[in-house]
């Protein structure tokens, strides 16, 4: 008799390089299941942008499975009870899934394993979302890394060239347990405000691989020089696809090596490339979150908790709405609202402005990003905000305060990015768009700066100096 295995899909919404699916297919009949239980997976409910992406990605996965003769069983949580019910209905003897690394999800998965095994089911999890497990990487003292450069040097030495798994050539369908439609999950808002995201993105495995192929065919070879230019197409924009598991880091690594090799790049060159180093930062983020789970709400450097005393609602609202009067900041915040994404250089600029010029808590910015980014990833978001605020691992020095005007002039020299997202400034020419007040311009409908950049920088330096004693 052929064994029946449930494959529990989570943030691994793909068929290729899917270790749990691969193992289940080798065992016999496969019953794919997705369970929506966000309250068990993370500290807060998924943001609206994430729910939109999840809706589209689930539909893409459902179609890909259907083409191979397998229906996707969709359920609502709790996960342990749902899996037990599906197993009983399908006659399954095992449940396989790929591991996640967020604190709440780890606790949930541990409980699920215990409950399933108590029922006599085999319950196994697999590595799929990272190149190396967080517990596999330790410094010479046997402790977690807190500085990126030695962390990534260690990882590269340990990695080799990981080979992704293919899509299983045969997927045997089994019984179809009762479930819901994706529509029944009610992931989309009542008012369809997501047209900008729909025009910008193609969620799903096919969209992920198409984006990687286009990037490796062009921008990869100029990535080092173009990646900081929000006015140009110089980045891969793979982050949401990686977050939802529509493509794996092993697939990205292997495809990069193949593309670089075809262009004659030596292995030591492409392995050390800036692009793959960005995969390293993603690994580092999950390494830190796994070993220091409290950092989702508290700074890794506890003395910095005293720096931000409270939230000024007026300043926070101006920042979230892109109405601070600082063009580079406002362009980034409007790009985020309009497309569900923001260029990484601009993320650093807007985060520095909020935490240092406005002296608002980094947690407020992190929460807003989690609600509005299509690539809202708890690990990367936590690392990014603590890095910019100067309170985390390998953090930017407290005295590094990005000047949004000079940053804009350097990385958006002709002002194309700002004019795209701030139509009130469209009439200004060149780099003058980054500081309209300096030229005496007061564009109609655009607010004056909420703070003086020089004075707020001095205030921030004074506040940081009191904490550090410098």
Mean pLDDT, residues 361-385 taken together: 96
**DSSP letter (8 states) at residue 72:** P
Mean pLDDT, residues 215-227 taken together: 93
Residues 459 and 342 in one domain: yes
Cα–Cα distance for residue pair 293/287, rounded to 1 Å: 10
Q: Which two tokens stand for residue 134?
A: 């967080």
How much is the mean pLDDT over the chain? 94
Residues 92 and 152 in one domain: no
Cα–Cα distance for residue pair 136/290, rounded to 1 Å: 12
pLDDT of residue 192: 82
pLDDT confidence bin for 1, thresholds 50/70/90: low
Q: Which of 51, 10, 3 is nearest to 33 (CA)?
A: 10
The answer to whether residue 58 sits within a structural domain is yes
| DSSP H or E run through 465 | helix 453-468
Backbone angles phi, psi at 403, to 5 degrees: -90, 110
The answer to whether residue 104 sits within a structural domain is yes
Residues 89 and 45 in one domain: yes
pLDDT of residue 193: 84
The answer to whether residue 106 sits within a structural domain is yes
Show Cβ contacts of residue 63 under 8 Å, excluding neighbours closer than 6 positions. none
Q: For the domain that residue 358 is a member of, what is the CATH number?
A: 1.10.579.10
Output the furthest CA–CA distance in the chain (Å, rounded): 81
3-class state of residue 290 by DSSP: helix
Residues 451 and 439 in one domain: yes
Cα–Cα distance for residue pair 209/399, rounded to 1 Å: 40
* Cα→Cα distances 229→191, 208, 330, 342, Å: 33, 22, 16, 12
Helices assigned H by DSSP within 139-296: 148-159, 195-200, 205-217, 223-226, 239-243, 249-262, 267-271, 274-291
The answer to whether residue 355 sits within a structural domain is yes
Residues forming beta bridges with residue 125, ordered by sequence position: 97
Q: Which of 158, 168, 246, 138 is nearest to 201 (CA)?
A: 246
Residues 218 and 91 in one domain: no
Please determine, for residue 318, whether its predicted confidence score (pLDDT) is greater than 60.
yes
Residues 304 and 432 in one domain: yes
pLDDT confidence bin for 443, thresholds 50/70/90: confident
Q: Which domain holds residue 317?
A: 296-468
pLDDT of residue 466: 83
pLDDT of residue 463: 87
Percent of the chain with pLDDT over 90: 85
């Amino acid at each position: 008799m052929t064994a029946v295995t449930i494959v529990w899909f989570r943030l691994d919404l793909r068929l290729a390089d899917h270790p749990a699916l691969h193992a289940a297919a080798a065992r016999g009949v496969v019953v794919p299941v997705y369970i929506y239980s966000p309250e068990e997976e993370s500290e807060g409910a998924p943001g609206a942008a994430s729910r939109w992406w999840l809706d589209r990605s689930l539909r893409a996965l459902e179609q890909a499975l259907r083409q191979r003769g397998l229906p996707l069983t969709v359920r609502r949580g709790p996960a342990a009870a749902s899996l037990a019910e599906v197993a009983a209905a399908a006659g399954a003897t095992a449940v396989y899934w790929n591991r996640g690394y967020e604190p709440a999800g780890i606790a949930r998965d541990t409980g699920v394993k215990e409950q399933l095994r108590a029922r006599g089911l085999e319950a196994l999890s697999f590595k799929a979302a990272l190149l190396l497990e967080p517990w596999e990487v330790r410094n010479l003292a046997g402790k977690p890394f807190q500085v990126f450069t030695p962390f990534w040097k260690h990882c590269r030495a340990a990695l080799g060239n990981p080979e992704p798994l293919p899509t299983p050539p045969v997927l045997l369908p089994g019984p179809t347990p009762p479930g819901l439609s994706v529509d029944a999950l009610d992931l989309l808002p009542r008012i369809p405000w997501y047209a900008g995201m729909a025009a910008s993105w193609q969620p799903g495995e096919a969209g992920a691989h198409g984006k990687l192929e286009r990037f490796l065919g062009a921008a990869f070879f100029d990535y080092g020089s173009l990646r900081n230019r929000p006015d140009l197409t110089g980045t891969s924009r793979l982050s949401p696809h990686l977050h939802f598991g529509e493509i794996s880091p092993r697939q990205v690594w292997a495809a990069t090596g193949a593309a670089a090799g075809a262009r004659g790049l030596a292995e030591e060159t492409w392995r050390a490339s800036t692009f793959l180093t960005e995969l390293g930062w993603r690994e580092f983020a999950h390494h830190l979150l796994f070993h220091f789970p409290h950092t989702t709400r508290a700074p890794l450097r506890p003395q910095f908790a005293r720096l931000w005393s409270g939230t000024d609602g007026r300043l926070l609202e101006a920042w979230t709405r892109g109405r601070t009067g600082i063009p580079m900041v406002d362009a980034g915040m409007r790009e985020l609202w309009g497309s569900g994404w923001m260029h990484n250089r601009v993320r650093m600029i807007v985060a520095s402005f909020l935490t240092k010029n406005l002296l608002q808590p980094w947690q407020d910015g992190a929460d807003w990003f989690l609600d509005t980014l299509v690539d809202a990833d708890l690990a990367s978001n936590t690392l990014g905000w603590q890095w910019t605020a100067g309170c985390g691992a390998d953090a930017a020095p407290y005295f590094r305060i990005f000047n949004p005007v000079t940053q804009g002039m350097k990385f958006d020299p002709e002002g194309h990015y700002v004019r795209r997202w701030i139509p009130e400034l469209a009439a200004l020419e060149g780099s003058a768009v980054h500081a309209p007040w300096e030229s005496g311009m007061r564009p109609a409908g655009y607010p004056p700066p909420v703070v003086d950049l020089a004075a707020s920088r001095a205030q921030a330096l004074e506040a940081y100096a009191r904490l550090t004693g410098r």
